[in-house]
Amino acid sequence: FCGSMGDRVGLCFGPYVLGEAPGLYLSEETLAVRTRACGERGATSLRTYTCKDGLEKMGDFIRSQGMTLCPGAWICNSGIHDGENDKQIANLIQLCTSHPDVVEMALVGNECLESSFSVPEEVLIGYIERVKAAIPIHIPVTTALMYSEALHHPKTIAASRGVVCVNLHPFWAGVHIADSLSNLQESYDLIKSKCGTLTLVVGESGWPSAGSPVGSSEATPANTAYYWKTFRSWVARQQSKHPHYYFGAFDEAWKSEPGGVGPHWGIMNGDRTPKSGIQ
């Protein structure tokens, strides 16, 4: 499953496996091994969530592996005051300007308008404008919005350049796996109607393999394999200029979410082996 126009599936690259967690510096060698495993599963692009601890140095080996990168700067409320947001943005700008041939789009924050770590919308838009002004104009710039944020924050959408990025999760909608594709399509169409001339990119969409159910959504290995296959087929039909991103690459034990599904979103186990039914 390769990356010609129209079948470009990206993977959300959370690299912290087994006993690791954010804050750990990962060497270029370690990251290169893990990105290569993603390429072996058919990913043509990787989306990251932070521009520090080694992930700001991924450009060279992403290029050498024939993939593209959707780098993200982690933005949070505490980062406004301690300078961390500024550091993230500076690293994002450096990565985009040094590897303009590799970067698909620059993401300034993830779900940071209606979460426990939210920043004021005008602050986020200011960060987006800063990145837009500093990197090559052909690189799209936006933030990654959850579904409800995309419905409620037209000013943020309007501040985006080239693309709008929204995380769409049928699992959290509580639908049966058989209805997951129709739920994805309905959500995508609704948000797309609010994007004007901007291209809509799915920044996350996945299905966990273990944990408690949400409504009719059951977290099982079979459902993960089904949704991975279904999502890839959906992406191929979109004939999109940019990849859409499946969530996620690896199981990450450090994650906690309601119902215990947090560590189980990967198409690969922590040791980089594919889960049952994953091609």
Q: Which residues of 85-99 are buried (b: 16+ CB within 10 A; e: fewer)?
A: bebbbbbbbbbbeeb
Q: Which residues lie closer than 8 Å to 53 by C-beta, 6 or more apart?
A: 22, 23, 24, 25, 26
Q: Rounded to two decimals, what is the model's pTM?
A: 0.96
pLDDT tens string 107-125:
999 999 999 999 999 999 9
pLDDT tens string 140-172:
999 999 999 999 999 999 999 999 999 999 999
User: At residue 66, does pLDDT exceed 50?
Assistant: yes
- Using DSSP's 3-state secondary structure scheme, residue 66 falls into coil
User: At residue 207, does pLDDT exceed 50?
Assistant: yes
Q: Quick count: other Cβ atoms within 10 Å of Cβ 64?
A: 12
Q: Please give the pLDDT value at position 239.
A: 85
Q: Please give the pLDDT value at position 7.
A: 67
Closest CA to 141 of 112, 115, 106: 106
Q: Residue 265 in contact with residue 211, Cβ under 8 Å?
A: no
- Using DSSP's 3-state secondary structure scheme, residue 190 falls into helix
pLDDT tens string 225-255:
999 999 999 999 998 889 999 999 999 999 9
